[in-house]
Each structure stands twice: as structure tokens, then as C-alpha cells.
Structure 1
Amino acid sequence: MTSLPLLPGRTCGGCVECCRVIPLDLPELAKPTGELCAYCVDGAGCSVHAIRPQTCRIWFCLWRVVELSDDWRPDHSGVIVRPDGVEDGIITLYVLRRSDFLASPEFFMTVAGWIAEGIQVALSIPGPVGTYPARAVVTDWLRPAIEDGDPAAFLARVMRSLDTLAEHDFQPDGVARRYAVTTQDGPAA
């Protein structure tokens, strides 16, 4: 995947959710899905930022790419808007935790706008550490509540989807921890 153009002036700040949820299986860095990278300082960012692997350099959530309010920042919203699938017209909302944001008018209006534009919407949730997430395209399931302009029915459908996803048989990702990012002086601390 190539990096999408980032919004000028928008930075991750203290958000490190991608450093937790994204699985990595590289020669110099491997971490299971859902485990905070050992090089990450929670709430501060990457301790090896200048020499981080290329995969880490090019992966950004869509909050860094599209005009979404600060409320959408993953550590605030509990939702990572994943970039995978965008080229195919699918936006995946990776729900890290159920938050008040899911019941907000902004969440409803944004998702409704995407669906009105013909974009498919998927919901995804993490499984236990070391397992792949569950994911399902929910566009047609959400559409009736959106067409009725009914945020309460929309939220009920989102929550029911998350409940169904939580029943998923989560599969192990098979990634064994390996931390070997190196500097000129040897392995990074």
C-alpha cells in the first residue's frame, strides 16, 4: 500500500492507536495484532520514529488524510478509519471501544454522507491480542435508518453489528514478537 497524501498541519499528536492495533511481521519488527509496539511510548509516540520501518512510515488512518473533525481522532473517538479498501470504495470503521462518539450526530451524518455518495461502509472490531479482527460490510444494514433520518435506529443497528462481530471466531495472527530495529550504534532500545 502506498501512502495517501496527508492533510497539512494534522499530526497524530498523542494518538498511538495504530501502533497498538496494526499487526507487523517484518524482519526488523514483528508484533501481534492488538499489542502496543515495544518502541511506542503510550500517549507520546514512537521512540524510534526517525528510523522506524517503511511500513510504519506509510500507514496512516484516514483521520490524517480526509477532512474529519478532531473528534474523529482515534484516541478520542475510539474509532480508526482504516485506509485499506478505500481504493475499492470501502471505508472500514475499526471500533476500538464503544464510546459516546458512536451516538454523536457527527458520526451519524458522516457515515450517512459516505453511504449517500455510494461508499460502502464496513465495521470492524479487535479480537484478543494476537488475533485478526472481525469485519463486515454493513452498508445495506445501516441504510434504512439513514434513509429514515433516524439516528437512534442507526445507533441500534451499529451496536447490534458490533455485538454480532464480537461473537466472531477470532483467528490467531501467528505473529511472534521480534524487535530488532537498528541504529548506527546497534539495536534500538
Structure 2
Amino acid sequence: MSLPLLPGRTCGGCVECCRVIPLDLPELAKPTGQLCAYCVNDAGCSVHEVRPQTCRIWFCLWRAVELSDDWRPDRSGVIVRPDGVEDGVITLYVVRPSDFLGSMDFFATVAGWIAEGVEVALSIPGPVGTYPARAVVTGWLRPAVEDADPADFLARTLRALDRLGEHDFQPDGFETRYAVV
């Protein structure tokens, strides 16, 4: 799925997708959670002009939806994934827990989505080379949303992330291969 991007919003130094997205292409393969060898930390892709099509069209929703700059994945620790949006599900891939999860911005935005009937899923990475864990948590978060209780919302979010951490992470089976020309 390709959404129109917000004008003037660029990845900048954020390279989170270059780490978390698994790739198994003829010209580029890397396990989930491994930083792409073509990626320069805090700068971006060193083969940007000839990068694979998959890399050209995949963008987190921070690039396409009106979210504050605090939501940029390298700042927030959260990648808002585009997959599932067409089915009414927003997946919050928590790369690393941060203070952002306890912010009013996070609470108000996610509570707004839930109030509008959008399903919300949380996801976390496993060890390098394994698929992430993911669960729809709308029903679990709803009581805190209905009570307008950010503290309970944060506690429920953190409990859900802890439970996801108990997941039996499955290997992705991708062998590293770099051949972009």
C-alpha cells in the first residue's frame, strides 16, 4: 500500500525502518532487526538513488499522517506501520520503550483512534532474525480511553508490551545478501 506523503516531511536522520523491516529480495536480503549494511546511522541510505523498489515505497505513517514531530520513530521509539490501515488497524511497533509512551501526545492520539473505531495493535521486535510479536489491544486499552485516564492507559500499554515480550519469537530464515548495483 502506498499513501500520499505529507509535503516537506522527510525521514531525515531516522533509519528505524532500515533496521526493523525484513528484506528477502534478489538484490538485498537482511534478517529482521539487522541494520541494513547500506544504511548510514543518522544519515540514511548510501545507495538511495538505486535502492530496491521495496525500500522506495515503504514509509511509516509518520510520513503520511498528521502526527507531531515527536512521533518520528527515532525520537519516539514507535514506528506507526502502514500495513493493516486499509483494514482499519493501526500497528504501533514499539522499537524501544521511551518516555513518549507516557506522553499526552501518545495518549490523545491513540485514544482518538480508538474512539473513532480504529483497531490498535502493539508490536515489538524479537531477537535479530526473528519475526516481531503483535497483538490487537483495542479492547485492553478501551477502559483507560473511556475513563480518560492517561496513567491507566500507560500501565495497560506497558503490561501489553511485557506480555508480548513473552512471545515465542519465530526465526525469519533470511540470509544476509547485499548486491545492489
TM-score by length of 2: 0.99
Q: Where does residue 155 of structure 1 map in the other structure? A: 154
Q: Where does residue 31 of structure 2 map in the other structure? A: 32
Q: Where does residue 59 of structure 1 map in the other structure? A: 58
SS where residue 59 of structure 2 aligns?
A: coil
SS where residue 146 of structure 1 aligns?
A: helix
Q: CA RMSD for the aligned pairs? A: 0.4
Q: Where does residue 135 of structure 1 map in the other structure? A: 134
* Percent identity (aligned): 83
| Runs of 4+ more than 6 Å apart | none
SS where residue 18 of structure 1 aligns?
A: helix
Report the CA distance between 1:3 and its aligned residue: 1.8
Q: Where does residue 95 of structure 1 map in the other structure? A: 94
Q: Which has the larger radius of gyration?
A: 1
Gaps of 5+ in 1: 183-189
SS where residue 10 of structure 1 aligns?
A: coil
Output the amino acid matched with 2:78: V
Give per-residue Cα distances to partners, 1:70-119, cap 9 Å, x unaligned.
00000000000000000000000000111000000000000000011110
C-alpha separation in 1, matches of 2:166 and 2:54: 31
TM-score by length of 1: 0.95
| Aligned positions of 1:1-189 closer than 5 A | 2-182=1-181
Output the amino acid matched with 2:174: V
Give per-residue Cα distances to partners, 1:12-49, cap 9 Å, x unaligned.
00000000000000000000000000000011000000
